[in-house]
Structure 1
Amino acid sequence: MAVIWLAAPEAHDYDAAADYLSLLADADTVSKTVAGLKAAKPVYRKAKDILRAGSLALLPETNVRVRSDLQKISDGKKLSPILLVRGNGPKAVQLQIADGYHRVCASYLTDENTDIPCHLAPWG
């Protein structure tokens, strides 16, 4: 079954991104970064590349959130696009999945080559 995506991230995704990013940066940087994510135009990246760029492990289908997203995919429900903060290769800073790690994993388990709509922004 193909993964179907919403046209734009849901409002609560930006709040979740800000919560996560607040563990990595100060409030001003987080605010500017989330503003950049909101303004970003969609780009499409493959699940396998997102996980590699973030040096992240694939969560198993037994993970409760991944399982929930796999069920949504099976039911033909749309998933929210992923929010990404660009890494910095020369400085060995990894890509951050600000929101959507479970959705990336569910997409990978469905088809690692699925084009995932992402809002990609630099750190603010």
Structure 2
Amino acid sequence: MAEHDYAAASGYLSIRFGESRAEEVSKKLQKLPVIQRRANDILRATQRVPLPLSDPGVLRDLQKVLAGEKLSPVLIADGDIADGYHRVSLAYALDPYADVPLKLG
């Protein structure tokens, strides 16, 4: 898991919860184990609509996968995707029932 993923999660969460709460949640996410959940379940639980394959972030992740790179786990905090929305959307486009690695906090 790349450090920039936690920074991205913290940046997003700071908009929702404020800086101090976002940093606290981000630190907790770092300590959690990686688990698996289906792409469709992640989107339903977070009430998100998958982004289309034409989305620039989804396309960038698709290029990484085609190049053989592993994608970072999705970070879920307080029922929302804190980081990894593009990755979940890509997984859903390829196979809605695909298991997606994530940290759930």
TM-score, normalisation: structure 2:
0.93
Higher relative contact order, chain-length normalized (CA < 8 Å, sep 6+): 1
Give the partner amino acid of 1:35: K
The residue aligned with 1:104 is 88
Question: Would you say 1:20 and 2:12 are equivalent positions?
Answer: yes
Q: % of aligned pairs identical?
A: 40
Once the two structures are TM-superposed, the CA of residue 73 in structure 1 deviates from its matched residue by 1.9
Which of 16, 31, 42 is matched with 1:39 structurally? 31
**Residue 117 of structure 1 corresponds to which residue in structure 2?**
101
* Alpha-carbon distance, 1:43 to partner: 1.2
Question: 1:34 is paired with a residue of what secondary structure?
Answer: helix
- Gapped regions of structure 1 (runs ≥ 5): 1-8, 87-94
In the alignment, residue 98 of structure 2 is paired with which amino acid? T
Report which of the two structures shows the higher radius of gyration computed on alpha carbons: 1
The answer to whether the aligner puts 1:50 opposite 2:50 as a matched pair is no
Q: How far apart in 2 are the matches of 1:33 and 1:21?
A: 8
CA distance in 2, matches of 1:63, 1:57: 13
List alignment gaps of at least 5 residues for structure 2. Answer: none
TM normalised by structure 1 equals 0.80
- RMSD in angstroms over aligned alpha carbons? 1.1
